[in-house]
């Protein structure tokens, strides 16, 4: 096909957005069979701009044989641009910093970071880019489809949810009336002022599968240990704690000063949790939260959500090997946390231990 009629290359307008006329020209060039690089040369824009524009104006059309094809439509792209421009306000700062845009895309898509974690870590580590944006602006850019490869489907959660209001429960679990209540826990432990106090919980497989994960999270630093267990039973929990005591011996009591858990059947044997396998003395102190009060183990609940990023509800946990579980544990412990000043749990743990 003769492309000579399209060879009226437009003069590059540095820092300007595509016009409606340019969008119709892109549509014509695309239908003429030109490659993205060739279209970029004709329009006087970068190839990245053309790729982003083609994605913005992509339209799915039905063929005569009832299959579908994707085509670029200038009208669609222009409408989206005008809609975004109404709320855009000032010019996009990130548009001048492709290095920052690529860094954000890789962190969110590949490393599964939240937008807040990306921005927080950049500031905490003092990483240098041409420009800087805040978390709110990054969410806005993602909403508007500014990024070439990143959109809302890549986000772990859409935005930080409004904090729930929790109702304090003073009841004792009927299946665990003789246990040590969380109400007996010292105030400095409640306020996370001292190290060595943990929360423990189980993550179960989907219906019909017995494998589970036992999760231990340290309250002050948020460091987490994840163990795969064959089933959610007292015996399996005991095996894990005994293994940890065998590993740390006399240091176990210092590292695991107390463990707070719910009243699940796998945890209600307080003596089993506390009693050392080497001496007649206790190796730790067990506390039990009130019924329907998951917020009393907030660190546990947050880590559980992070694990579900990799192992969704309904999944058969038995399909995951020890190496995969360890990889998830490492990701969680190396993830920057706002509550820790965007340091990771591992960094916080190594600092106090």
Query: Which structural domain range is residue 14 located in?
Result: 4-88
**Domains in the chain, number:** 3
The reply to whether the predicted model has a pTM over 0.85 is no
At 6, the pLDDT band (50, 70, 90 cuts) reads very low
Residues 148, 48 share a domain: no
Q: Is residue 168 part of a domain?
A: no
Which pLDDT score, from 0 to 100, does residue 353 have?
82
Query: What integer pLDDT is reported at residue 9 of this predicted model?
Result: 42
CATH number at residue 257: 3.30.420.10
130 shares a domain with 24? no
Instruction: Assess whether 225 and 281 both reside in one domain.
Output: yes
pLDDT at 23 over 80: yes
Residue 170 has pLDDT above 70, yes or no: no
Which pLDDT score, from 0 to 100, does residue 168 have? 59
**214 close to 200: Cβ distance less than 8 angstroms:** yes
Co-location of 143 and 242 in the same domain: no
Report the percent of the chain where pLDDT is more than 70.
88
Q: What is the pLDDT of residues 248-291, one digit of tens each?
A: 999 999 999 999 999 999 999 999 999 999 998 999 999 999 98
**Alpha-carbon span 236 to 230, nearest angstrom:** 7
Same domain, 47 and 192: no
Same domain, 83 and 100: no
**Rounded CA gap, 205 and 228, in Å?**
11
Domain boundary (56, 88, 120) is at: 88
Return mean pLDDT, the chain.
88
Which of 44, 71, 88 is the last residue in one of the domains? 88
User: What angle in degrees, to the nearest 10, is found between the helix axes of 36-43 and 20-31?
Assistant: 140
- Which phi and psi angles does 337 have, rounded to 5°? -115, 135
Q: Is residue 345 part of a domain?
A: yes
Is 165 among the domain residues? no
Whether 13 has a pLDDT exceeding 80, the answer reads no
Half-sphere exposure of 160 (CA within 13 A, CB side): 9
Q: Is residue 42 in a domain? A: yes
Is the same domain home to 83 and 102? Answer: no
Residue 16 lies inside a defined structural domain of this protein: yes
Q: Which of 44, 73, 88 is the last residue of a domain?
A: 88
Residue 162 lies in a domain: no
The answer for residues whose C-beta is within 8 angstroms of residue 313's C-beta and 6 or more apart is 206
Same-domain pairing of 62 and 141: no
Shared domain for 215 and 295, answered yes or no, is: yes
Q: Is 58's pLDDT higher than 60?
A: yes
Residues 68 and 24 in one domain: yes
Among 30-34, 100-104, 159-163, 330-334, the least confident range: 159-163
Q: Are residues 141 and 286 in the same domain?
A: no
State the average pLDDT over residues 21-35. Answer: 92
pLDDT digits (tens, 9 = 90+) for 126-151: 999 999 999 999 999 998 888 989 98
Asked whether residue 166 is domain-assigned, the answer is no
Tokens of 343: 């340091």
Are 289 and 261 within 8 A, CB to CB? Answer: yes
Report whether pLDDT(352) > 80.
yes
Q: Clarify whether residues 109 and 80 are in a common domain.
A: no
Greater model confidence, 72 or 87: 72
- Do the domain assignments include residue 167? no
């Amino acid at each position: 096909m003769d492309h000579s009629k399209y060879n009226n290359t437009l003069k590059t307008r540095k820092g300007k957005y595509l016009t409606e006329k340019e969008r119709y020209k892109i549509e014509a060039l695309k239908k003429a069979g030109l490659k993205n690089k060739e279209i970029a040369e004709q329009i006087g824009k970068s190839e990245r701009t053309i790729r982003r524009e083609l994605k913005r104006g992509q339209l799915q059309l039905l063929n005569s044989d009832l299959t579908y094809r994707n085509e670029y439509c200038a009208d669609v792209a222009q409408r989206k641009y005008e809609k975004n421009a109404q709320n855009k306000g000032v010019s996009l700062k990130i548009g001048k910093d492709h290095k920052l845009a690529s860094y954000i895309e890789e962190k969110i898509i590949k490393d599964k970071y939240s937008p807040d974690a990306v921005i927080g870590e950049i500031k905490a580590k003092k990483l240098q880019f041409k420009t800087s944006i805040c978390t709110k602006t990054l969410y806005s850019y993602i909403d508007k489809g500014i990024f070439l490869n990143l959109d809302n489907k890549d986000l772990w959660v859409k935005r930080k949810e409004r904090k729930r209001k929790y109702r304090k429960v003073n009841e004792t679990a009927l299946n665990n009336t003789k246990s040590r209540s969380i109400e007996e826990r010292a105030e400095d432990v409640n306020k996370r002022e001292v190290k060595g106090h943990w929360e423990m919980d189980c993550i179960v497989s989907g219906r019909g599968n017995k494998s589970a994960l036992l999760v231990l999270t340290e309250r002050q630093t948020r460091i987490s240990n994840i163990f795969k267990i064959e089933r959610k039973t007292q015996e399996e929990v005991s095996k894990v704690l005994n293994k940890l005591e065998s590993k740390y011996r006399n240091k176990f009591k210092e590292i695991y000063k107390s463990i707070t858990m719910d009243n699940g059947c796998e945890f209600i044997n307080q003596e089993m949790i506390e009693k050392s396998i080497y001496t007649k003395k206790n190796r730790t102190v067990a506390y039990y939260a009130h019924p329907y009060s998951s917020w009393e183990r907030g660190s546990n609940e947050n880590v559980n959500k992070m694990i579900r990023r990799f192992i969704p509800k309904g999944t058969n946990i038995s399909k995951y090997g020890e190496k995969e579980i360890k990889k998830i544990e490492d990701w969680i412990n190396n993830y920057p946390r706002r509550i820790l000043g965007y340091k990771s749990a591992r960094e916080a743990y190594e600092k106090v231990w």
